[in-house]
Every structure is written in structure tokens, then in C-alpha cells.
Amino acid sequence: MTAARGNDAFGMVRDRMVEEQLARRGIRDPRVLTAMRLTARHLFVEEALWPRAYGDHPLPIGQGQTISQPYMVALMTQTLEVEPEDRILEIGTGSGYQAAILSMLAAKVFTIERHGALARRAREAFDALDIHNIAIRIGDGSIGWSSYAPYNGIIVTAASPDVPGPLLEQLSPEGGRLVIPVGGQSFQQLRVITRHGEKYDTRDDVGCTFVPLVGRHGWSEDGK
């Protein structure tokens, strides 16, 4: 894990967030708790929102998109069971916060965002925090990023009507894990898929609400 990147005025607020919103609700992985304690979440939202940056809720980040609730970021990260040597693919960079958390736990993070403005702002935040193990691409993440496959873990932070086939194909056959919200546009289940060779074990976890995955293997622009 890299050096602390939370040496700022919000350190105590972050400690409280980790204790009250995460540890007390069952987030147990010490590496996930440490990453959430050290990563300056406020730097991923506009300055006017800094006072609310550590609240127990999502926040707007522009383009009609959101940075997810801290608990959901922690839960999805814990569910992904990231190992230090892993290569992780994230679909839906948004603010870049989830990718920054993953970058503390994995060797390399690949992240895709369909909105260029959000991708550029996320890149600025990574640079400001001296994070150098994240590759970011602008485009449709529902088709994955085949040039760097296979991935030990794939995390989708937008809601999909079904599991995109290319993401299954790009999972490592040796225990690769996919975490993805699957369901309708207003409510989904967090689906967890583990690949062993050509066998895919699937389980549904908690209910959740994400903005839609818009793309070839997600929803269309008009919501169909």
C-alpha cells in the first residue's frame, strides 16, 4: 500500500466515516478500511461540496452522474477481494474515487468513462494525489478493454440490465471476480460472479441503486 494521501484537514472526519459508516456496518477487510481512511474523498467533488463529501450518501459530480456512497464503494471493493498483484478493470470512472481506492490495493487499475469531461477531471485528481498506477480511457466500458485482459477483478459502478458478455470473457479464468449491479433502472442487485475456467459461479448480494450503464451491452441513451 502506498504512503498516506490523507494528510489534510479532513483526516478526523474520514476516521469517523470509516468507523460509523463502514466498520459498524460490517466492512471488515483491514486493507479496504485503511484505503478509505487515507484517500481524500473531498478532492473528487467540487469545492462547494467539500462539507458534505464524507456524508453517508452519493453526491453529484456533473453530467447527471454521481460519486457513490462511501459504504457502497467499500462494500464493492471488499467483495472484489483485491490482492496486491492484481490487475483490476473498473467500468464507470465517474469522479475517480473508486479507482483511487482500488489503486491502493492492486498493482494496476484500468478504468473507463464515457463522459470525456469526467475522465479528464478524474485524471487531474489522480495527478494531484500522485497516483500513477491508473490507466483511464474514454469510451464505452460495456465492451470492456480487451487489450489488457484478462483481469483478476472487474467492477462495474453503473447499473446494467444484464451482465455484458465481453466482461465475462475478459475475466481471468483463474478465479477472476466480477461485481456488477444488475436489474432495472431504478433498483438493482449487486451480482458477484467468479470464473473458474469456463465455469462462472454467480450469487446475488445486496440491493442497490446506480445510474445506468449506457452502451452497447447496457442501456441505450433513451433508457431502453
Binding interface with ligand SAM (CB under 6 A)? 65-68, 91-92, 94-95, 97-98, 112-115, 118, 140-142, 157-158, 210-211, 213-215, 218
Q: Which residues pair with 190 in a beta bridge?
A: 181
First to last CA, the chain: 42
Minimum separation from the CB atom of position 199 to ligand SAM (A): 27
For ligand SAM, the closer of residues 126 and 176 by Cβ is: 126
Minimum separation from the CB atom of position 29 to ligand SAM (A): 18
Catalytic residue among 68, 95, 142, 160, which? 68
Task: Tell me which amino acid residue 80 is.
Answer: L
For ligand SAM, the closer of residues 183 and 218 by Cβ is: 218
For ligand SAM, the closer of residues 49 and 175 by Cβ is: 49
Whether 147 is catalytic: no
Minimum separation from the CB atom of position 168 to ligand SAM (A): 16
Q: CB pairs under 8 A, 24+ apart, for 104-107? A: 104/1, 104/2, 104/31, 104/34, 104/35, 104/38, 104/39, 105/1, 105/31, 105/32, 105/35, 105/77, 106/82, 106/133, 106/152, 106/153, 107/133
- Which residue has cell 484505503? 35
- Residues annotated catalytic, as ranges: 68
